[in-house]
Amino acid sequence: MQGSAQMGTAVVIQEGDLKAQITYMKSILNERQYRCFLGTTAVSLGRGGQALVARLSGSSINTVRKGVEEVSNSPTAENSEQIRKPGGGRKSAATLHPQLHECIEKIVDGKTYGDPEKIIHWTTQSLMSIAEALYTDYGIKVSHTVVAGALEKMGYSKQMNQKMLQVGKPHADRNAQFEYINTTSKEYISEGIPVISIDCKKKENLGNFKNNGKEYRKKNDPRKVLDHDFLNKKLGTVAPYGIYDIDKNIGFVNLGTSHDTAEFAVNSILQWWLHIGKETYPKAKRLYINCDGGGSNGSRLRLWKTQLAEFAETTGLEVHVSHFPPGTSKWNKIEHRLFCFISKNWAGQPLIDIETVIDLIGSTTTNKGLKVKCILDENEYPTGIKVEAEEYDRVDIERIDPMPDWNYIISVKYLNLSTN
């Protein structure tokens, strides 16, 4: 609800009604008549009327001001049939700069937040700073209002502060690690080095169980599922371990039926390399992995690093790993570029068996061209495997300052861990 003063009397304006009226008038008036209508409306609203009309109509403030001037100078102007010739008028920013959205995405990519289960993001950068970066980095000169409109079309929105479920104080090196991952990823991608984001999606019980979400069915004919979620031991569970190629927008899921261990995690990366990576990057000598700091690919796990050493020897790839700081797993790109779309694709559909899961994961796509391959991994991955210090010391690890616990390179100079 918007209030404005006119001739000393407070007038309450229902913005929704006014916007509907503006939309309707636009559909029946020619361009000049519509501009004069906007001017007349702005004048009737009094102080602040021009800004309000511009916002509700989506027109520039200059268009509204011109309408005010035309109405003031010629009371009958809005009845004129004169309009500009077809194709006349100022072109939109998107028309003048077809790469605008792509450039904005690159600018805000490293400074973006959002719920990975939703396709809505918000940026910590101001509109002015983005507009400045567009001009400095890409030679695109647009106003901050154009940036605001572009962000809205791209799925970004203004957000109020929201408490996040992170326990304790954020790590002091959190932002520095974000910047390191972002900068290193961009450098590697520009050099043709594969950059992947990895994680294991939560385990799913197989069976005719309720799966959150909705699907289209005949009216009053909901899908009937069991009224409990107890594990069906015959069908078991599945653990989808995902690998997402950040540059190519290609996802790979190794669907495990055993435990989520470091051995399972590294074998999933190996299967990605054999099925997709090797063909996509035939000249690659290094692989850059972005992952969480905990779980089966945790930064403190010796087994994770020894398995990566075996992977390096098998593939001939030097492995560079960067872990996200504690409590920041939501910002791992695989969460909001692959897993959320998988969840969306199977929403409301019971995961009744392995074939159904593989089919739903493999059919996941987006309007940006995401492709996903899913394979079944029926290997057994025992838990409780310990790596002794002597065995661990054979792994050639180069730790990278200033955050050596989170960033390290495992060389292909591998010493066979199975030998005595």
Q: What was the pLDDT predicted at 117?
A: 41
SS3 at position 409: strand
Phi-psi region of 332 (alpha: psi -120 to 50; beta: other; left: phi over 0): beta
Please check whether residue 340 is in contact with residue 118, taking contact to mean a CB–CB distance below 8 angstroms.
yes
Architecture (CATH level 2) of domain 174-214+227-410:
2-Layer Sandwich (3.30)
**Token pair 């004048």 is at which residue?**
43
Domain ranges of the chain: 2-79, 93-153, 174-214+227-410
Q: What was the pLDDT predicted at 171?
A: 78
- Residue 14 phi/psi, 5-degree rounding, is -85, 105
Peptide bond into 350 cis (omega under 30): no
Q: What was the pLDDT predicted at 244?
A: 98
SS3 at position 329: helix
SS3 at position 4: strand
Q: What was the pLDDT predicted at 209?
A: 46
Quote the pTM value. 0.60
Token pair, residue 332, equals 């791992």
Q: What was the pLDDT predicted at 89?
A: 60
Token pair, residue 397, equals 């690890």
**For the chain, which ranges sit under pLDDT 50?**
1-11, 77-79, 113-122, 162-165, 167, 208-210, 214-218, 225-227, 417-420
Alpha-carbon distance 50 to 47, whole Å? 8
Judging by DSSP bridges, how do beta strands 407-410 and 397-399 pair with one another? Answer: antiparallel
SS3 at position 399: strand
Single out the residue of 70, 89, 69, 86 nearest to residue 78, CA to CA: 70
Q: What was the pLDDT predicted at 46?
A: 87
Could you give the angle at the alpha carbon of 172 between the alpha carbons of 170 and 175, nearest 5°?
Answer: 85
Token pair, residue 155, equals 């799925």
